[in-house]
Amino acid sequence: MSRINIFDTTLRDGEQSPGVNLNQLEKLEIARQLERFGVTRMEAGFPASSKGDFLAVKAIADTIKDTSVTGLARTVKSDVDAAWDALKGAAEPSLHLFLATSPIHMTHKLKKTPEQVIETAVEMVSYARRKFPIVQWSAEDASRSDWSFLAQIIEKVIDAGATVINLPDTVGYTTPAEYGALFRYVKENVPNIDGISLSCHCHNDLGMAVANSIAAVENGATQVEGTINGIGERAGNAALEEVAVALKIRSDVYPYYTDLKLNEIKRTSDLVAKLTGMYVQANKAVIGRNAFAHESGIHQDGVLKHAETYEIITPEMVGVQSNTLFMGKHSGRHAFKDKVEAMGYQLTDEKLKAAFEAFKKLTDYKKEVTDDDLFTILTEIQTEHASIGKYKLNMFQVQYGSANIPTATVSLTTPDGREVETACTGQGSVEALYNTLDALVSENLKLVDYQINSVGGGKDALAESHVQIEVDGETVNGRGSAQDVLEASANAFLNAVNRYIVQQGTQRTADGMK
């Protein structure tokens, strides 16, 4: 059995998904979970792209110690320098350099000759290697590049110090047979390839990202890149949980293994879905909620008689447990703290107190508090900035009926401490509520997207809302949960506005540091 390294790019390529906007605390929480999950290397971001991304990458690099932390950089010295400044505190800092090699990219995007591309790649890899112990070089759009040119440039960047070579299918164009043949060609035609790790990075535009990744592994790739839940630009990336489980279940065909802790899949998937607002479709392989649901009478009969008749993946393998009651309204603070720690959260005393108060409030309305409920509470508390100067919901009331005009009354405390109240109407209860909130908030707002979901099942399930709002022209995501769908919706709306306020404060602080 050969070990396959897992390169997770949820925090970089995954965050480039349309509508995804993670703040520093959210990125750090995902990074901690990726470390628990056992990824070999995590790409924390693109430090040169913005001061906010630089600070997030630095925070992750300074925190994560059991997983190598990587930053993305163009073949530009200032990018490499920014990445080093962000990553130098990591236990094993790594750099991911990329440069396009396909004729269409070199001609129309780079406006460089092949010779100039080689010169630039060699110069920047050599420069980066003076700082970083691990330098990964990516031939952007490798699947549409000339293979002989690829072999030539790969040989030269290895001589310059590259330790990992990545051949991405940047636009999700290739097929498993083609992609496997590309890796086999490189292995056979680059004389100094021995001892160098070959990496694959597949996009899912044609739905073949996982199949292409496994084809690459069969033909010499020792590292697979992808994201949790397969999120990413356009149709997304290879879903790492699918790759890992496929290698495990079909080990009779694939003599490879990863160091991923498969029973952390559900928690990792849930966290990424919750923080990005990109929910997993019900029929998604490995982790969709229907993955272990058998509605057909024939299937149900077979599963009850012997699970393996229709179930090749056990729920326990990927961390799906029966969601039973673990605590109630009489549970004390000590028991709550033990449960929080058992779930892998490390909360400050202040956040632990806030989480306990939210839990006790929930027990007043919900008879059975499940792990999913607590996961929602803890995630919101852990990723919430404690800074003052934000909007606070004091009270809201919505009047709605089939014969009445929906009307909402809301009372808020503004960032400067004033209490304001007003009422507005709308075509529906949510619109009336949002019109009222909009009237009370001083920022210019435009609602772009609104979602509502339940946490778990049952009529007393928590409601969870996600919104995307343009605040003063900047797109911001917000989320909120509550027993009531309207309260969850109000919380999500204000969360988005408050995130904008915090981001502006962080940016002003960062600008002051320059």
pLDDT at residue 315 tops 60 = yes
506 pLDDT exceeds 80? no
Q: How far is CA 440 from the centre of its chain?
A: 33
On average, the pLDDT of the chain sits at: 91
pLDDT band at 488 (very low <50, low <70, confident <90, very high): very high
Positive or negative torsion for Cα 152, 154, 155, 161: positive
Residue ranges of the chain assigned to CATH 3.30.160.270: 392-513
Q: What tokens were used for 292?
A: 């272990």
User: Tell me: domain 392-513, CATH 3.30.160.270, correct?
Assistant: yes
Cα angle value 470/22/225 (rounded, 5°):
130
Q: Is the pLDDT of residue 300 over 70?
A: no
Give the tens place of pLDDT for each residue, 24-48. Answer: 999 999 999 999 999 999 999 999 9
Mention the CATH class of domain 2-276.
alpha beta
- CATH code 3.20.20.70 region(s) in the chain: 2-276
In the structure encoding, which two tokens stand for residue 141, read together?
Answer: 């759009």
Residue 191 burial (CB < 10 Å; 0-12/13-18/19+)?
exposed
Two structure tokens written together for 54: 């630089």
pLDDT at residue 369, as a whole number: 81
Task: Return the pLDDT at 492.
Answer: 95
Give the pLDDT confidence score for residue 303 in this predicted structure. 46
Tell whether the model's pLDDT for residue 509 goes beyond 60. no
Residue 331 has what pLDDT?
75
Dist CA 87 CA 273 (whole Å): 26
Residues 185-236: pLDDT tens digits? 999 999 999 999 999 999 999 999 999 999 999 999 999 999 999 999 999 9
User: Rounded CA gap, 167 and 409, in Å?
Assistant: 57
Q: What is the pLDDT of residue 253?
A: 97
Query: Average pLDDT, stretch 374-400?
Result: 86
**b/e map 151-161, b = 16+ CB within 10 Å:** bebbbbbbebb
Q: Read off the pLDDT of each residue in 160-177 and give the average, rounded to a whole number.
A: 98
